[in-house]
């Protein structure tokens, strides 16, 4: 939306909310009984009503002290009580400092123990911080970013790019003991006129609880993660980051979750739709892709063992335009068999399904625990919708079709050992084995995200990128038989001011192509290895946090051609947060990437093949000033590794990945190595300031 005055209104609202006198209350034991306090200086009168006085609004009037705090002492014996404050004789307000809600009318609950002390849930956060409503919390943040860049494609001078301003305000109501929620609204500067402001619902959820059921509808919130060892629904590692930087499922998604318990069984079910998939796409357009998730997990303890069963289905739906140079043998055959079809765009539906069974049990009580899961896997790909398949009146509209593309089946098994041999030491070891059969002759595997510098052989790799389509997908031909083995080891040690973490991952892949693929491939092995996290957290006299991450990748025997070499990649990321003096620190984040034996073609012919060895360094250094916990100003040089677009206030560690994605999208004739070089050469000075409330 566009509105010239909306920014001014938003600022006034924020100031008003921050300036509003919060309604504070408290319950404590004093001489003579239990003291109830309510901080509301502007109130004309306040009284206390509860089940201990028959809900009489006049029975317990409060008196106001010189600081504007209202107080009353009530003699209460041990037991359970419900109460509310009555302001100005008519407004019934629950205790904003007491998070415990009882009954159907949003009353505050308190317990007086046998010693005469009140217990009201002080360990939980208050449910209100404003006098607007005693059941609502208001919080949010304002963030501004400014970038100066040089050596842009169209201008080599240092230029200030369009500053970005974001204002978020979150409303968190606790309606009753069974209903709560959140809604966050975002206002941000637009891409057009300098006075243009966009407004949208950034995130939110509503939770209803009744009996054994809990139902949550959510939008763009990180809320769902199953505890099955295979993690078919779990966290998502972010590209171009140390892999410990991940997000739980939910960001960029909307859906519903249902949790219930019956007969010692626990059931968790979810349906969600991802509308903002992290793929090589137009950075501002996501409306032609979506992924549906349907998942359920059932578990039950049987003696010392917990048994579980998990169903997970991911279904990608991508619209692809078959215009110009884009072709598909499956679509060509469909159009030949169905001359009445007028479709030029088709929806590709890729579905991956896991049906797993798992067990969790102690091996040595309080020392060693084991988990295991075996899961059946299937993949099915088809074109299921065309854009001009049936006539409605005088126009064509979408219609269902059934054009199979490819399918394969297999299994996945994983085992986990967890141990805490010392009070401050946690160890975890995981092994995962995957075995998937190959596709049949004539079938194809279609996906995105495959390294472009690996897929270069004509006939095996095809890029589909339609005119006007922001989506680029890769058609790889017949998928091979695959055997994969992944090992993961984690160790965490925390003692005093130190917290040391270590993670080592190793993945071995063996892919075997059938001889039917005439000489393009034989068999080849690949492996990936990474020390994905080596971190140390210290005290004030040392670096606040130092982390090191390594990742290596090599393809061996990749081509069944003698003159082709094996490509490899090595990546390292080192970060450090070093305190200088009070309120000041330095943030360092350096990424190094080197490539060897990368095959390149001057033209799309084998005769023009040559190899390139490249090394790139992308440093980022920032001076950080934080006079208070809720205020931070950062001045940095280099492409920021922390992305502040469509993220929470603390940002995401995928800033370089987003930068590369946008670079490649705007330069269709460039590849991954070109983007790496541009990232290393990028000259950027950035200022970011954020205030949270």
pLDDT tens readout for residues 276-308:
555 544 545 445 678 899 999 999 999 999 999
> What is the Cα–Cα distance from 472 to 666, expressed in whole angstroms?
13
- Write the Ramachandran bin of 519: left for phi over 0, alpha for psi from -120 to 50, otherwise beta: left
pLDDT greater at residue 506 or residue 195 = 506
**How does residue 20 score in pLDDT terms, banded at 50, 70 and 90?**
very low
pLDDT greater at residue 651 or residue 360 = 360
Closest CA to 87 of 25, 16, 19: 25
By percentage, how much of the chain surpasses pLDDT 90? 28
Closest CA to 312 of 345, 358, 361: 358
Helix/strand/coil (H, E, C) string of 149-184?
EECECCECCCEECCCEEEEEEEEEEEEECCEEEEEE
Rounded (10°) CA dihedral 49, 54, 57, 61: -60
Closest CA to 686 of 614, 590, 643, 622: 622
Q: What is the mean pLDDT of residues 166-177?
A: 86
The burial of 186, by beta-carbon neighbours within 10 Å (0-12 exposed, 13-18 middle, 19 or more buried), is given as middle
Q: Assess contact for 1 and 84: CB atoms under 8 A.
A: no
Of these ranges, 80-84, 104-108, 652-656, the one predicted with the greatest mean pLDDT is 80-84
The burial of 475, by beta-carbon neighbours within 10 Å (0-12 exposed, 13-18 middle, 19 or more buried), is given as buried
Among 33-47, 113-127, 358-372, name the one with the lowest average pLDDT. 113-127
| Torsions phi, psi for 136 (to 5 deg) | -130, 135
**How does residue 321 score in pLDDT terms, banded at 50, 70 and 90?**
confident
Among 413-422, 530-539, 614-623, name the one with the lowest average pLDDT. 530-539
Neighbours of 62 (CB within 10 A): 22
Neighbours of 549 (CB within 10 A): 22
Among 357-366, 482-491, 523-532, name the one with the lowest average pLDDT. 523-532
Neighbours of 247 (CB within 10 A): 18
pLDDT greater at residue 3 or residue 645 = 645
Q: Which two tokens stand for residue 250?
A: 């939910």
Q: What is the CA radius of gyration of the chain?
A: 30
Beta strands in 538-659 (DSSP E): 543-556, 568-581, 584-601, 609-628, 631-637
Neighbours of 424 (CB within 10 A): 13
Q: What is the mean pLDDT of the chain?
A: 79
Q: What is the DSSP letter of 242?
A: -
| Torsions phi, psi for 144 (to 5 deg) | -130, 135
Q: What is the DSSP letter of 55?
A: T
pLDDT at 162: 81
Element (H, E) at 664: helix 655-666
| pLDDT per residue as tens digits for the range 585-644 | 898 888 888 888 777 666 555 566 677 788 999 999 999 999 988 899 999 999 998 888
pLDDT at 215: 95
Q: Which two tokens stand for residue 364?
A: 């040595």
Rounded (10°) CA dihedral 238, 242, 247, 251: -30
Instruction: Please identify which residue in the block is written with the tokens 């100066």.
Output: 148
Q: Which residues pair with 260 in a beta bridge?
A: 213, 267
Inform me whether the pLDDT recorded for 262 exceeds 70. Answer: yes
Q: Assess contact for 189 and 164: CB atoms under 8 A.
A: yes
- CATH architecture type of domain 21-131: Sandwich (2.60)
pLDDT at 287: 54
How far, CA to CA in Å, does 4 sit from each of 1, 145, 184, 188?
Answer: 10, 21, 22, 13
pLDDT at 19: 38
Rounded (10°) CA dihedral 228, 234, 238, 239: 60
pLDDT greater at residue 159 or residue 532 = 159
pLDDT greater at residue 21 or residue 413 = 413
Among 60-69, 148-157, 446-455, 525-534, name the one with the lowest average pLDDT. 446-455
**How does residue 559 score in pLDDT terms, banded at 50, 70 and 90?**
very low
**How does residue 529 score in pLDDT terms, banded at 50, 70 and 90?**
low
Helix, strand, coil abundance in the chain, percent, nearest 5: 5, 60, 35
pLDDT at 21: 39
| pLDDT per residue as tens digits for the range 152-162 | 656 667 888 78
User: Which residues, at least 6 apart from 123, have a Cβ–Cβ distance to it below 8 Å?
Assistant: none
How far, CA to CA in Å, does 76 sit from each of 51, 57, 648?
Answer: 11, 17, 45
The burial of 348, by beta-carbon neighbours within 10 Å (0-12 exposed, 13-18 middle, 19 or more buried), is given as buried
**How does residue 645 score in pLDDT terms, banded at 50, 70 and 90?**
confident
CA 359 from centre of chain: 27
pLDDT greater at residue 96 or residue 217 = 217
**Cα angle 680-601-457, degrees, rounded to a multiple of 5:** 110
pLDDT at 539: 53
| pLDDT per residue as tens digits for the range 661-683 | 778 767 766 777 888 888 888 88
**How does residue 518 score in pLDDT terms, banded at 50, 70 and 90?**
very low
Q: What is the mean pLDDT of residues 228-239?
A: 79
The overall longest dimension of the chain from CA atoms, in Å, is 96
Domain ranges for the chain, please list them. 21-131
pLDDT at 311: 97
pLDDT greater at residue 86 or residue 16 = 86
Instruction: Please identify which residue in the block is written with the tokens 């790889």.
Output: 476
Of these ranges, 265-269, 440-444, 518-522, the one predicted with the greatest mean pLDDT is 265-269
pLDDT at 634: 94
How far, CA to CA in Å, does 591 sit from each of 88, 245, 652?
Answer: 62, 15, 16
Q: Which two tokens stand for residue 26?
A: 């408290």
Q: Assess contact for 166 and 692: CB atoms under 8 A.
A: no
Number of residues that this document lists for the chain: 693
Q: Which two tokens stand for residue 81?
A: 């009580």
**How does residue 25 score in pLDDT terms, banded at 50, 70 and 90?**
low
């Amino acid at each position: 939306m566009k509105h010239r005055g909306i920014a001014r209104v938003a600022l006034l609202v924020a100031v008003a909310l921050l300036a509003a006198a919060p309604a504070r209350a408290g319950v404590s034991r004093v001489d003579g009984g239990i003291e109830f306090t309510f901080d509301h200086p502007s109130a004309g009168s306040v009284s206390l009503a509860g089940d201990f006085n028959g809900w009489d609004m006049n029975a317990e009037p409060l008196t106001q002290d010189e600081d504007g705090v209202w107080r009353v002492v009530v003699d209460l014996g041990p037991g359970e009580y419900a109460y509310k404050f009555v302001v100005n004789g008519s407004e019934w307000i629950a205790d904003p400092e007491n998070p415990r809600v009882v009954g159907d009318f949003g009353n505050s609950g308190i317990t007086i123990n046998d010693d005469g002390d009140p217990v009201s849930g002080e360990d939980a956060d208050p449910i209100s911080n404003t006098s607007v409503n005693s059941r609502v919390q208001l919080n949010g943040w304002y963030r501004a970013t400014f970038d100066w860049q040089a050596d842009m494609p169209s201008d080599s001078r240092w230029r200030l790019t369009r500053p970005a301003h974001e204002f978020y305000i979150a409303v968190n109501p606790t309606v009753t003991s069974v209903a709560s929620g959140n809604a966050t609204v975002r206002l941000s500067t637009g891409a057009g006129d300098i006075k243009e402001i966009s407004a949208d619902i950034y995130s939110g959820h509503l939770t209803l609880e009744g009996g054994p059921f809990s139902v949550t509808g959510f939008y763009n919130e990180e809320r769902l993660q199953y505890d099955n060892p295979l993690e078919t629904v779990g966290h998502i590692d972010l590209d171009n980051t140390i892999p410990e930087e991940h997000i739980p499922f939910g960001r960029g998604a909307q859906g519903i979750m249902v949790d219930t318990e019956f007969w010692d069984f626990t059931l968790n079910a979810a349906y969600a739709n991802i509308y903002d998939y992290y793929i090589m796409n137009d950075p501002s357009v996501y409306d032609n892709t979506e992924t549906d998730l349907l998942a359920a997990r059932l578990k039950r303890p049987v003696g010392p063992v917990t048994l579980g069963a998990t169903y997970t289905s991911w279904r990608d739906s991508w619209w692809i335009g078959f215009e110009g140079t884009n072709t598909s043998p499956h679509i060509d055959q469909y159009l030949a068999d169905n001359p009445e079809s007028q479709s030029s765009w088709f929806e590709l539906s890729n579905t991956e399904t896991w049906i797993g069974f798992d067990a969790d049990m102690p091996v040595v009580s309080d020392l060693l625990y084991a988990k295991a899961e075996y899961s059946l896997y299937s993949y099915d790909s088809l074109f299921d919708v065309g854009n001009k398949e049936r006539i409605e009146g005088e126009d064509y509209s979408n219609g269902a079709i059934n054009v199979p593309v490819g399918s394969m089946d297999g299994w996945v098994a994983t085992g986990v050992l967890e141990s805490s041999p010392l009070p401050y030491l946690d160890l975890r070891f995981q092994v995962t084995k995957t075995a998937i059969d190959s596709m049949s002759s004539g079938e194809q595997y279609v996906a995105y995200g495959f390294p472009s510098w690996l897929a270069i052989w004509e006939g095996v790799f095809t890029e589909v990128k339609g005119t006007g389509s922001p989506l680029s997908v890769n058609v790889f031909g017949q998928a091979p038989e695959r055997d994969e083995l992944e090992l993961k080891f984690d160790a965490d040690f925390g003692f005093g001011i130190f917290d040391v973490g270590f993670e080592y991952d190793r993945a071995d892949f063996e892919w075997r192509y059938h001889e039917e693929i005439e000489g393009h491939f034989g068999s080849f092995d690949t492996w990936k290895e990474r020390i994905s996290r080596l971190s140390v957290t210290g005290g004030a006299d040392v670096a606040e946090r130092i982390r090191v991450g390594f990742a290596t990748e090599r393809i061996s025997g990749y081509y069944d051609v003698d003159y082709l070499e094996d490509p490899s990649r090595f990546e390292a990321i080192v970060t450090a947060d070093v305190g200088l003096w009070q309120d000041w620190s330095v943030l360092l984040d350096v990424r190094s990437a080197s490539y060897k034996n990368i095959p390149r073609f001057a033209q799309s012919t084998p005769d023009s093949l040559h190899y390139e060895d490249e090394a790139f360094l992308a440093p980022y250094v920032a001076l950080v000033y934080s006079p208070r916990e809720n205020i931070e100003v950062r001045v940095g040089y280099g492409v920021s590794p922390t992305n502040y677009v469509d993220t929470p206030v603390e940002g995401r560690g995928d800033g370089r990945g987003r930068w590369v994605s946008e670079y490649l999208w705007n330069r269709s004739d460039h590849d991954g190595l070109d983007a790496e070089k541009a990232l290393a050469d990028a000259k950027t000075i950035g200022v970011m300031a954020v205030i949270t409330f």
